[in-house]
A and B are shown apart, each in its own frame.
Chain A
């Protein structure tokens, strides 16, 4: 789990003397292990319908999800350990020109940024971060499953006031940096699923809706090989629709100001 910390004491001292911060940074981060919350398995009706399956409920297997989105401070540790992911070194294939543009320098987020969610990160960067933490990005279904919860209910999507509260976030300007992570946990114990930042998912490029979202049921089967674009159920759940819209507008190297991420881990079967 933590191979980097299995280093002899001698080399520890030498590392300190040589002023090599990276191993220390890594080990320190490993010491402050980020909180992962176990999410029980379940079934739910996804907003993305399953046409070949008559829109039946989707099953999500038990998995662990990070309690909060990854912060600038945590991302800094990663970038220090893997400098090929610094914004002045990253190849264009993996991130666009706006990658981490809000950081004071390629190696410092700047004052007050440590506990704010990292934004302007590409999907590739998010993937690499999660891999470095022996984790991965959540799938869309996993994300949607946990996001359906309010403080008291695992599925609050029918609750008009809960939906209205989420919609309110879209009605606010976004020029200031996002607020710090934390706050009220939802039913599962996870925080900031709404109201803070958009979040990457592992299969962002599986959201096969057409760029013109009015073409639901458009029989252009050739374009998507057989089944056509997926349809969006529950079109009144605008909060989710907007997430799908945003993720489907992006390529893997794209970054945008309100987009961050959190990691997930597959858990061994409970039984």
Chain B
């Protein structure tokens, strides 16, 4: 009996060591199965502005407005936060409560927890449902790939990047996106409202 149990344990750990993704999968498999095209199939460990660790898949359960930014970005990123806020403002109280906003930084090397907290305070973000998060550089590349965002680090530390506001449904599937900045995209708002329907 025992040798076989021993073997079984070894086999399990072999598979587990084989890839972080497998690990994430077994963890996520605890809930109902994730749809194949859910973004949460990739669920790295992330840290928020208050230093708390969480897995990306923890966001599952409510629609999420997600985008990517970085602190030193003088040009587009402040506009991004404004646009997110204005988009939120176009919803009613109930819909707002049912939506989380997640901003992931391109620049984990410079955007540490303290920096993220500083942004949250300065821009007066409602942290009951807004999260600013950082993760390791390899995971940043994967999150961008999964969301379809392009970015490129420049030698001076700045980033070129495309900008999109992406709406994930409660199961993490991409329901829509908009690249409109500085104004509220009416069609996108409509989409958010539809996602919010029970």
Chain A positions near chain B (C-beta within 8 angstroms): 3-4, 7, 10-11, 14-15, 18, 20, 22-23, 26, 50, 52-53, 81-82, 84, 91-94, 123-124, 127-128, 131-132, 136, 202-208, 221-227, 230, 251-253
Contact = CB atoms under 8 A, between A and B. Distances in A.
A93 B42 contact: yes
Leading 4 A-B pairs by shortest Cβ distance: A252-B145, A206-B152, A92-B37, A92-B36
Interface string B152-171: 11111011111100000000
18 contacts: A18-B7, A20-B7, A26-B14, A52-B154, A81-B14, A82-B18, A82-B19, A84-B22, A93-B41, A93-B42, A94-B41, A203-B141, A206-B150, A206-B153, A222-B181, A225-B161, A226-B74, A251-B148
A53 B153 CA distance: 12
Contacts of A205: 141, 144-145, 149-151
Contacts of B138: 136
A7 B19 CA distance: 18
A137 B63 CA distance: 33
B39 A93 contact: yes
B123 to A, nearest CB: 18
A93 B146 contact: yes
Interface residues of B, number: 50
A11 B14 CA distance: 12
A202 B179 CA distance: 25
B13 to A, nearest CB: 9
Contact of A81 (B18, B73, B161): B18
A22 B149 CA distance: 36
B25 interface: yes
Interface string B74-90: 11110000000000000
B52 interface: no
B154 A227 contact: yes
B6 A50 contact: no
B91 to A, nearest CB: 25
A128 B145 CA distance: 14
A222 B76 CA distance: 7
Contact of B160 (A128, A204, A225): A225
Contacts of A225: 73, 75-77, 159-163
Contacts of B191: none
A208 B73 CA distance: 17
A91 B41 contact: yes
Given A225-B73, A225-B159, A226-B76, A132 B37 contact: no
A252 B174 CA distance: 15
B6 A224 contact: no
A227 B150 CA distance: 13
A204 B152 CA distance: 10
Given A14-B3, A124-B145, A225-B161, A4 B17 contact: yes
Given A22-B15, A131-B20, A53 B155 contact: yes
